[in-house]
Amino acid sequence: PIIVDLEIHGYIWIISGGTPLTELDELAISHCATVAALILFKDKALREAQDALRGDFFDRLLRGDNDLIGSYEQLRQINYHIDKPHQVLLAHAPFPPGANRSSLVKDIESRLDIKNLNPLTVWREGDLLILLESESAEVGKQVAQELVTRLSHPAQPLLVGVAGPCEPLRQDADGIRRIYEQAREVVTINLQMGQQEGVVVFDDLGLLHWLYYLPVEQWPENVYLTYIDTLVDYDAKRSTSLMETLEQYLDHGGALVDAAQALDIHRNTLLHRLERIEQLCNIDLRTPTHRLNLHVALKSYRLRQSK
């Protein structure tokens, strides 16, 4: 086996037919494995040095280091262009404890290199931050969708948040920090909403962005949140699914057929549940204002549960 830093990276085989191996053959195999391991170890050390440089760059960038623009040598070493606009992609994938995350980085970098987007990658808070040279918001969306399509699978779903672009570093020293926080926010919100896979864009958050920053002290003042709490308590006591029913009904814009299919129930069953919700909350779900406020309150509840 070829072993680097206690990890097996491959094996060396010798095809000898029916001829038994000699001591010289075994020595040659051992030396080949050692040489291969040394080459891989050198590559690993170079990658770790690059990772450290990129990590230091992002640390300084995110804390607003005013001397960063003048650090030409560090910028050159990581191939960062201060006169180019950038986008941030934040890739979230679940990893078991002790798992090797380098394969995901290699897969992503190899696909982005083909597109000449000059990607910079660094791990931040358990997620992979990807910095792209891009002038158009659509570029990041397309790249993120391609990554999800090609790399996401049931055992390891991939969720990619997209934000930006921002002005070049020379013109907007705070731009990358700002869009990184936006990418982090859109990933966090969608995880809290139960989405584990796909492409999520900060500009599409809309009302959820406001709800995310709504002070906790304001929540009890909303009567529609008390309706949501009523449904949650009812479900807990009777093992029903009124909360899920309401969410699917509202998420599908009040379309009964679509909501029933999503819940895998008959349309009449859905109507019966909606009638029970109206009775418990003393509201009319046919009223657009009630539906809107309930939908907002429901999303607020999801965010509240995760804080």
Do 174 and 224 fall within a single domain?
Answer: no
Give percent of the chain with pLDDT exceeding 70: 81
Do 260 and 178 fall within a single domain?
Answer: no
From 10, 29, 61, the end of a domain falls on 61
More confident residue, 281 or 18: 281
CA 110 to chain centre: 19
Tell me the pLDDT band of 33, cut-offs 50, 70 and 90.
Answer: confident
Q: Identify the burial level of 183 via C-beta atoms within 10 angstroms of its C-beta, where 0-12 means exposed, 13-18 middle and 19 or more buried.
A: buried
Highest mean pLDDT among 79-93, 206-220, 260-274: 260-274
Tokens standing for residue 181: 């926080």
Do 179 and 264 fall within a single domain?
Answer: no
CATH code of the domain in which 219 resides: 1.10.10.2840
Range of the structural domain that residue 163 is part of: 81-205
> Does 68 map to a domain?
no
Tell me the pLDDT band of 100, cut-offs 50, 70 and 90.
Answer: low
pLDDT in tens, 279-295: 999 999 999 999 999 99
Total residue count of the chain as it appears in this document: 307
H-helix or E-strand containing 77? helix 72-77
Residue by residue, DSSP assigns 91-126 as EE----TT---HHHHHHHHHHHHHTT---EEEEETT
Torsion of CA 79, 80, 85, 89, to 10 degrees: 90
Do 281 and 194 fall within a single domain?
Answer: no
Tell me the pLDDT band of 73, cut-offs 50, 70 and 90.
Answer: low
pTM: 0.75
Tokens standing for residue 261: 């299919």
Residue by residue, DSSP assigns 160-213 as EEEEEEE--TTT-TTHHHHHHHHHHHHHHHHHHTT--SEEEEGGG-THHHHHHT
